[in-house]
Structure 1
Amino acid sequence: MVSFLLEVGTEELPASFVRSAIAQWREKIAASLAEVNLAAGRVQVYGTPRRLAVYLSDLPERQPDRAEEIKGPPASIAYNDGKPTQALLGFARKQAIDLDAIALREVGKKGKFVFATKYIEGKSTPELLQQLVPQWIAGLEAKRAMRWGNGEFRFPRPIRWLVALWGDRVLPLEIEAVSSGRTSQAHRVLHPEPLDIASPEAYVETLKSGFVQVDREQRQASIVAQVQAVAETANSVASMPADLLEEVTDLVEWPTAVLGSFEEEFLELPVPVIKSVMVEHQRYFSLHPADRPAELVPYFITISNGDPAQAEEIAAGNGRVIRARLEDGRFFYNEDRKQPLDAFVDRLEQVTFEQSLGSVLAKVKRIEQISGWIARQLQLNRGDTADVLRAAHLCKADLVTQMVYEFPEMQGVIGRDYALQGGESAAVADGIEQHYWPLGAGDRLPIALAGQVVGLADRIDSLVGLFSIGKIPSGSSDRFALRRAANSILSIAWQADLEIDLLALFVEATSTFASDPPATFNILLEFFGQRVQTLLQEDFGLDYDLIDAVVEPTNPEKVRRSLQDLQGTLQRAQYLQQLRRGGTLELLYPTVNRTARLAEKGDLAAEVLDPAAAVDASRLQEPAEKNLFAASQSIYARGQTAVREQNYTILVQALLEAAPAVAAFFDEVLVMDKDPAVRTNRLNLLCVLRNNAGLLADFGAVVMAGES
């Protein structure tokens, strides 16, 4: 067994790419080896701003020999009166095998076919690696890639050196005129001299001797430990947001935590402003009193990639930078507060939302209108409605403040602060900030009612407006993050238990704002069907077929019903999952599925539920069909109660009780009677049963064990 090391040395890589590339190689390299029948004992991927590396342990020296069975022509074509035909001879020549190696074997119902077994000698592992390594490098996906020199190869940054070691020998490789060797580069400042790697096993320690910590997990652990230790020297606790920690881990090769400070007078600024300067602009960790985590102290910690001996100079330089940024923040903050937040609203006329959709002020007016519709649906009282409409009016005002112009990440946050200082209620102020929530996957959902309603209205307006001008996501392209907007609408409605009729809101919004209301509405319908389906599976872990039973993007009627009653859709899908886990679905399925299959031969509309309206009782001849009619009346009555009380156990129990009557009906009654009137009457009876079962789900979409 032999180990292998690959290091790709580059100019400084984007931090986000380092993290992504490590994850990609962990998955792709193991899969790539498996495709050529190789397996490493361990696949360890490393990454820093200047390099990506992979260490593979215990690789075999050769690919194993293998026997490959190849299917040839049918026996009827391969032989003529027992003699080989040209088809068989051609097959043997192509596979380089003797006719003696040919065998005949039955293939299901297709008859006999010719088969040949071909023995293939394995290639040497170094030879395979020479083919695979360029694919590993070129196969890394990145948001942006570049070319350099006169080459055509694309990578996030120019490649400057390659290390490729098969055991203690250099494996010859070349990427864009860069040939492989055993020489790597150490830390730019702390060890400017190159390093020779003796063997793959020596890689990590050799680089460490050159002040490069290539193991990302160890580098991050070192940062955490250093930050905590330095914070203690300032009698404080460090805030370490996960995103910031991930980023700084990939900005340095030899991390050193350095304590810096700024004047205490800057603490008069709102905490979010100071933290924005520290985190978003400077990549610093903020410090807090141990017993007051919401407050700040006039210190920060930066992670340096320089000389630890120069810590004082590094701290002083970073202090000058943050002081200047905080001074800017203080100036903008004081200037903005010379007038109330309301005074900024009209200036939104000068800011374009989208060229075809007008200004941000026009968008705000639409948000106010949609917020009013939602408030009426939710039957909010006068006070809550006033808060919602006021928050809608002010929700974008801070976009034209000097603070947000300089610090865009403060939108909503500084709007809340200015609103409170201007005398607005806490409900309105919270709504201004929270209408942007969730900001990303896994982020907080709005807690304030005004934030929920205005957030829904804002996203509905964006979806309707952008869809109406053809800005529809396709494939991986979603420039306006419309999938996330739709997901947020559903998440807010479900998590806050808002009883909104999304279908009615789409009808109102498209008819009021879209140039082609029917086309825009239909796009929204299909788009949201997909979003409901995705979230039910990803966020709630429900089975795909049970989701299809309540909402299916290709079935407009199912989508309409799901959007009219989002809470009911979630409840029905979760209840079906509960029935499956408890075994009740298996008991219920034969009755409703058999009924639904034959009901397809009828033409009774799906919305007809009352047996008395669909079935002529005077035409019922057989005792079994009379019994089923009586059972269907009970199902109808109990189904209405189930929907009214949102308790579908009532309907399920009625369907289970009807099982004997359904079985007897199919055993004793000829549904497809020669008399058209009798036949239609019996089909209508089955259709009514199907329609009432459909109050819970379309059982035709349910897949039971053994089905496909």
Structure 2
Amino acid sequence: MPDLLIELFSEEIPARMQKRAGEDLKKIVTDGLVEAGLTYASAAAFTTPRRLALTIDGLTEESPNTREERKGPKVGAPEKAVEGFLRSTGLSMEQLEVRDDKKGQVYFAVIEKQGRPAADIVAEVLEGAIRNFPWPKSMRWGAGSLRWVRPLHSILCIMVREDGATVVPLDVDGITSGDTTRGHRFMGPDAFTVTSFEDYQTKLKRASVVLDPAERAETIWHDATNMAFAQGLEVVEDRGLLAEVAGLVEWPVVLMGNIDDQFLELPPEVLQTSMKEHQKFFSVRDPKSGKIVKFVTVANRETTDNGATILAGNQKVLAARLSDAKFFWENDIRAVAREGMQAMAAPLANVTFHNKLGSQAARIDRIAALARALAPAVAADADQAELAARVAKADLSSEMVYEFPELQGIMGRYYALRADLPAAVADACRDHYSPLGPSDDVPTDPVSVAVALADKLDTLTGFWAIDEKPTGSKDPYALRRAALGVIRLLVMNELRLSVSDVIGDWAEKFEPVCLRLRTDWIAAEQKAGESMPDSAEEAKWLMTSRGLTKQIEAQKRSVSSSLLSFFHDRLKVLLRDEGVRHDVIDACLAMDGADDITLLVTRARALQATLDTEDGANLIQGFKRANNILTQAETNDGVEYSFGPDIKFAETDEEKALFAALDTAEAAIKPAMQDEDFAAAMSAMATLRGPVDAFFEAVQVNADNDIVRRNRLNLLGRIRVICLQVADLTKIDG
């Protein structure tokens, strides 16, 4: 079986597109080969800035002969039906067969296809892949019609057998396939011939090209960390930047440069962000001081002066960039020292947050009020929580954040400290955006928690109020992330809040909830020639008399209910990753306190832990059996079997043992549930597994004696009542 090697050689491919392009090339080509009837053992794609490469091992020599019989319309069917069948099969009328069928004679098509050589199929598939490649952006060049991400120079396509390699003939807009390629643009520009993938990879490295992006990344990281370690420093880890830089070079040469002393007092985040965004430099930190003191850059070639000229040029450009950052920093801290943080936030009155939700300043007022209201529940100082909320977004109007938006919050902390605000307030400026994702750190300082909750709850309530909810995969305002952030803040800090009450109370003060109703009411009153009320009391009375107050209350309830359901959906996603099943959460949602997220999570985790045990899983089956028998009997008899069973009517030892087990379990479950010790309650419930199993094995519930039957059904009713104290087990699957 031959091996296949493909290389598409072009001008530099943007680093951000390379990984996806390699995956797309592999998928398009392998899918096309398989669809044409070929098989292969393995395939791997590689990318460099100037080439996409694909190697396929163990390709079959040709596609197999095929014979397909396809049933068509009945003889005598309408002419258009027969013509459509002929088009789908590619046959003529004379080539169809007439066969007897259950309902008469039917046309049959016998389609036979001869196998094709692998080279023909490869050429066809590769040409289609090149002409229809799914680049995010592509271009045309010269007079041709071919589109590629950058001008395509050559196509290498060979099939490798034991007796040597042969070129797969291919011509795409004048670019013919061959068995040659080129190495590094400067260090190995001459063309060379390859005979196999191993030969290709070896000769590329000899021509100063490392084909595997993972190898390039490993080389960069190894050399950079060793270089820093030799000077008692450490490289700030950034896997995203590492992958990007590995896509910018074919022959990585790591160089370490100095940062001018005048910039070393800038916040390390400023240095790191500026160097990463503009220069693609790695930051090098002094572990003793935590300051960024040097940088690492990666050149794409070796030089006779060991990179001295490259470093000099990079340091000159970096100095210009950092001069801008230094200018922004000094302007901002002067403004803070002169006017304070709240003055810095003043321009936000002219910044629109959302055209239906008002300005950033109006939003800050709402967040400050909500943070103060939440402060007691999170054990935060109310004055500090309100102050932190008022200054947390002040840095949005700073010059530094305007230049580097990703530093919002981080710069706010620095400015707050410069303004001599309390450390808790400064930390809240930085932390109130967190958590941003499922693996992001969760703030634990009470002031930060209060502001973070207020920020996210205000956002969610506002967008729910104007009916701007996530739909499908669309979530332009990151509301799913905000809801997940609220959940993690509550759960990680073990906070006990009624989310429904918070949303409902806040919705009442949230202008967008009532604004449309009030506006419509005023317009209707004016249209009817009614004069507007002179006082707030008169307005309130008039609104009530017109039914507007009820509409507003209904709107509040709608927002609260819908948003709580959204939280529950997000919670299912979060707990799914922990191994908590959806039906387990549904069983807990049916209980009281479902709007207390922390309580709900504790109950769900305890129930899942119980179901993961043998006793717990078997008890669920016993409960379902008891509930099914009971439900059927209650339906047939038209009565509810919820009266206490009497042990004096028990006839068997298993029946009496179940009475005793239920007494013991109930005595343990009730106080445990009152103390919200769900683990203990569910552990006590799981002890019923043995007695319940023994009861069903030994006892016939629907006994001939009617008194005994009713007593046993009431005993099942007691099983149901005791188990349903813990969770609604009827919602558990299986």
For normalisation by structure 2, the TM-score amounts to 0.76
Q: CA deviation at 1:408?
A: 1.4
Is 1:564 equivalent to 2:561 in the alignment? no
Residues 565, 187 of structure 1: CA spacing in aligned structure 2 closer, same or farther, 3 A cutoff? same
Q: 2:462 aligns with which of 452, 462, 465?
A: 465
Quote the offset at 1:84 in angstroms: 7.3
Q: Which residue matches 1:93?
A: 108
- 1:163–1:578 CA distance, 2 compared to 1 (3 A): same
Task: Name the CA distance, whole Å, in 1 between partners of 2:446 and 2:128.
Answer: 52
What is the distance in 2 between the residues matched to 1:652 and 1:388?
Answer: 41
| 1:495 corresponds to 2:492 | yes
Q: Aligned equivalents of 1:130 and 1:88: distance in 2?
A: 46
- How far apart, in 2, do the equivalents of 1:95 and 1:634 lie? 75
Which residue in the other structure is 2:430 paired with?
433
- Corresponding residue SS for 1:551: helix
Structure 2 counterpart of 1:590: 621
SS at match of 2:678: coil
- Of the three residues 291, 294, 304, the one matched with 2:299 is 304
How far the C-alpha of 1:40 sits from its partner, in A, is 3.8
Given that residues 615 and 686 in structure 2 are in contact (C-alpha distance below 8 angstroms), is that contact kept between their aligned partners in structure 1? no
Corresponding residue of 2:155: 162
Contact 1:525 1:559 in 2 (8 A): no
User: Unpaired runs of 5+ in structure 1?
Assistant: 74-82, 97-118, 605-612
Q: Does structure 1 residue 411 correspond to structure 2 residue 411?
A: no
User: Equivalent residue for 2:137?
Assistant: 145
Secondary structure class of the residue paired with 1:211: coil
* Corresponding residue of 2:579: 541
Give the 5 Å matches for 1:300-699: 300-306=295-301, 308-309=303-304, 311-338=307-334, 339=336, 340-378=340-378, 380=379, 383=381, 385-440=382-437, 442-513=439-510, 514-515=512-513, 516-538=555-577, 540-542=578-580, 546-551=581-586, 558=589, 564-598=595-629, 615-616=642-643, 623=650, 638-645=668-675, 646-654=677-685, 656-657=687-688, 660=691, 667-670=699-702, 689-690=719-720, 692-699=722-729
Q: CA deviation at 1:657?
A: 3.2
Alignment map for 1:145-224 (pairs within 5 Å)? 145-146=137-138, 148=140, 157=150, 159-167=152-160, 168-173=165-170, 178-224=175-221
> Separation in 2 of the partners of 1:69 and 1:59?
28
Moved more, 86-95 or 487-496: 86-95
Give CA-to-partner distance per residue, 1:31-80, whole Å, 9 cap, x none.
Answer: 7766667554442221122222111123232346789999999xxxxxxx
**1:239-266 per-position Cα deviation (integer Å, ceiling 9, x unaligned):** 2322221111112222222232232121
Counterpart Cα distance in 1 of 2:269 and 2:8: 40
The residue type equivalent to 2:46 in the other structure is Y
Could you tell me which residue of structure 2 aligns to residue 258 of structure 1? 255
Tell me, in whole angstroms, the C-alpha distance in 2 between the residues paired with 1:414 and 1:494. Answer: 28
Q: How does 1:13-52 map to 2 (within 5 A)?
A: 13-22=13-22, 39-52=39-52
Distance 2:128 2:502 in 1: 50
Which letter maps to 2:680? Answer: T
Does the aligned pair in 2 maintain the 1:3–1:57 contact within 8 Å?
yes
Note closer, same or farther for the CA distance 1:660–1:307 as it changes in structure 2 (3 Å cut).
Answer: closer
Structure 2: give runs of 5+ residues left out of the alignment. 74-97, 514-554
Q: How far, CA to CA, are the matches of 1:693 and 1:69 in structure 2?
A: 60
- In the alignment, the residues of structure 2 paired with residue 424 and residue 415 of structure 1 have an alpha-carbon distance, to the nearest angstrom, of 11
Measured in 2, the distance between the counterparts of 1:603 and 1:368 equals 55
User: Residues 618 and 599 from structure 1, CA distance in 2 versus in 1: closer, same or farther, beyond 3 angstroms?
Assistant: closer
Residue 9 of structure 1 contacts residue 159 of structure 1 at CA under 8 Å; is this kept in 2?
Answer: yes
Q: Output the amino acid matched with 2:157.
A: A
Whether the aligned pair in 2 keeps the contact of 1:5 and 1:163 (CA below 8 Å) is yes
Alpha carbons 1:186, 1:207 under 8 Å: kept: yes
Report the CA distance between 1:648 and its aligned residue.
3.5
Equivalent position SS for 1:169 = strand
Distance across 2 between alignment mates of 1:88 and 1:420:
89
Task: Return the alpha-carbon distance in structure 2 between the equivalents of residues 498 and 601 of structure 1.
Answer: 42
Q: Report the CA distance shift for 1:653/1:288 in structure 2 as closer, same or farther (over 3 A).
A: closer
Structure 1 residue 216: Cα displacement: 0.8
Q: Which moved more, 1:279-288 or 1:123-132?
A: 123-132
Instruction: Classify the secondary structure of the residue corresponding to 2:566.
Output: helix
Q: Residue type matched to 1:583 in 2?
A: E
| Preserved contact between residue 38 and residue 63 of structure 2 (Cα < 8 Å) | yes
SS at the partner of 2:670? helix
Q: 1:450 to 1:602 in 2, by over 3 A?
A: farther
Instruction: Give the aligned partner of residue 58 of structure 1.
Output: 58
Is the partner of 1:208 in helix, strand or coil?
Answer: helix
Aligned partner of residue 94 in structure 1, secondary structure: strand
1:244 corresponds to 2:283: no
Superposition TM-score, scaled by structure 1 size: 0.79
Query: How far apart in 1 are the matches of 2:731 and 2:326?
Result: 61
CA distance in 1, matches of 2:438, 2:689: 46
Tell me the distance in 2 between the aligned counterparts of 1:458 and 1:160.
53
* CA deviation after TM superposition for structure 1 residue 594, in Å: 1.7
Of stretches 21-30 and 478-487 in structure 1, the one that deviates more from structure 2 is: 21-30
Judging changes above 3 Å, is the alpha-carbon distance between structure 1 residues 346 and 560 closer, same or farther for their aligned structure 2 residues? Answer: farther
What secondary structure, in the 3-state scheme, does the structure 2 residue paired with 1:93 have? strand
Distance 1:659 1:650 in 2: 17
Contact 1:638 1:651 in 2 (8 A): no
Note closer, same or farther for the CA distance 1:509–1:34 as it changes in structure 2 (3 Å cut).
farther
Partner of 1:608 in structure 2?
Answer: none
Question: Which residue of structure 2 lines up, in the alignment, with residue 99 of structure 1?
Answer: none
Cα deviation for residue 210 of structure 1 reads 3.5
* Letter in structure 1 aligned against 2:119: P
Decide whether the 8 Å contact of 1:503 with 1:560 is kept in 2.
no
SS of equivalent residue, structure 2 residue 368: helix
One-letter amino acid matched to 1:85: D
2:704 and 2:121 mapped to 1: Cα distance? Answer: 67
3-state DSSP class of the match of 2:433?
A: coil
Report the aligned-residue RMSD: 4.3
Deviations, residues 463-516 of structure 1 (Å, cap 9, x unaligned)? 222233343333333222222222222233333333333333333344443534
Q: 1:35 and 1:370, CA in 2 relative to 1: closer, same or farther beyond 3 A?
A: farther
Alpha-carbon spacing, 1:581–1:664, altered in 2? closer, same or farther (3 Å): closer
Q: How many residues are aligned here?
A: 648
Task: Quickly say closer, same or farther: Cα 1:619–1:217, change in 2 above 3 A.
Answer: closer
Q: Is the deviation greater in 6-15 or in 125-134?
A: 125-134
Question: Which residue in 1 is equivalent to 2:264?
Answer: 267
Note the C-alpha offset of 1:191. Answer: 4.1
The one-letter code matched in structure 2 to 1:464 is T
Q: Structure 2: how far apart are the matches of 1:145 and 1:484?
A: 29
Letter in 1 for 2:563: L
Aligned twin of 1:112 = none
How far off is 1:692 after superposition?
4.5
Shift, 1:232, TM fit: 5.5
1:495-538 per-position Cα deviation (integer Å, ceiling 9, x unaligned): 33333333333333444435343444444234333321111122
Return 323-332 or 626-635, whichever deviates more.
626-635
Q: Any conservation in 2 of the 1:364–1:393 contact (CA below 8 Å)? A: yes
User: Residue 108 of structure 2: SS of its match in structure 1?
Assistant: helix
